[in-house]
């Protein structure tokens, strides 16, 4: 499935991961070859067949590998579940538990898809550099008493879908801000957290 929105792409990716498609191979298409993206899609799906639900079930019973495909913009993912290979394996597939997926969704926003810190499920986090940059901007705004800027940055952060990993990062960030505000004797606006979980 090809998506126009990164939110749908990530949601579908996590859904595949949660259903056992935990090995993946990511391909980033060249921007200047956009007219060929659909052909590349078809080539990948021809190489790694995406079977119907019934055929997938039969293959799973025979312990044969099944594949899934999804793409947003230049990011293309082939995922596969556990099973014996009955086709040639030319590309390198890695496991999500040891190799998180990184997706740049904007100029400064990079998201990490990986294993939840608690349990066996998968979720989304702010990538380390992105997290630190947002945290720095918030703390700097508090220190300089730019409270409107604090509210604006927080609103943008809250607009990111409520994956459990990001919700936890928001909570930590909010606690850090409260400590900074107390240290500098600044009364910051109430920072609500969008707790409506996606995954």
Q: Tell me what pLDDT residue 81 has.
A: 96
**Any bridge partners for residue 95, and if so which?**
23
Q: Tell me what pLDDT residue 194 has.
A: 74
CA separation for the pair 161, 53 (Å, rounded) = 29
**Dihedral sign for Cα atoms in the order 145, 159, 3, 102:** positive
CA separation for the pair 77, 48 (Å, rounded) = 11
**Dihedral sign for Cα atoms in the order 192, 145, 137, 107:** positive
Q: Which pTM was predicted?
A: 0.90
Q: Tell me what pLDDT residue 195 has.
A: 67
Q: Which residues contact 77 (CB under 8 A, 6 or more apart)?
A: 13, 24, 25, 26, 27, 68, 69, 70, 71, 101
Query: To the nearest 5 percent, what fractions of the chain are helix, strand and coil?
Result: 45, 20, 35
DSSP letter assigned to residue 139 = H
CA separation for the pair 121, 130 (Å, rounded) = 23
List the pLDDT tens digit at each of the 199 positions of the chain: 999 999 999 999 999 999 999 999 999 999 999 999 999 999 999 999 999 999 999 999 999 999 999 999 999 999 999 999 999 888 999 999 999 999 999 888 999 999 998 777 999 999 999 999 999 999 999 999 999 999 999 999 999 998 999 999 999 999 999 999 999 999 888 888 876 655 4
């Amino acid at each position: 499935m090809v998506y126009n929105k990164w939110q749908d792409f990530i949601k579908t990716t996590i859904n595949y991961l949660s259903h056992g498609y935990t090995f993946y191979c990511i391909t980033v298409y060249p921007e200047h070859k956009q007219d060929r993206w659909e052909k590349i899609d078809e080539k990948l799906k021809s190489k790694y067949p995406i079977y119907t639900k019934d055929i997938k079930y039969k293959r799973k019973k025979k312990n044969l590998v099944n594949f899934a495909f999804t793409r947003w913009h230049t990011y293309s993912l082939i995922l596969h579940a556990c099973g014996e290979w009955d086709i040639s394996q030319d590309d390198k597939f890695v496991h999500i538990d040891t190799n998180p997926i990184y997706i740049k969704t904007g100029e400064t926003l990079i998201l990490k898809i990986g294993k939840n810190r608690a349990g066996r499920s998968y979720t989304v986090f702010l990538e380390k550099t992105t997290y630190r940059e947002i945290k720095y901007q918030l703390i700097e705004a508090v220190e300089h008493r730019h409270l409107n800027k604090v509210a604006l940055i927080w609103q943008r952060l809250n607009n990111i879908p409520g994956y459990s990993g990001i919700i936890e990062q928001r909570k930590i960030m909010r606690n850090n801000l409260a400590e900074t505000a107390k240290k500098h004797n600044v009364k910051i606006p109430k920072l609500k957290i969008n707790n409506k979980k996606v995954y």
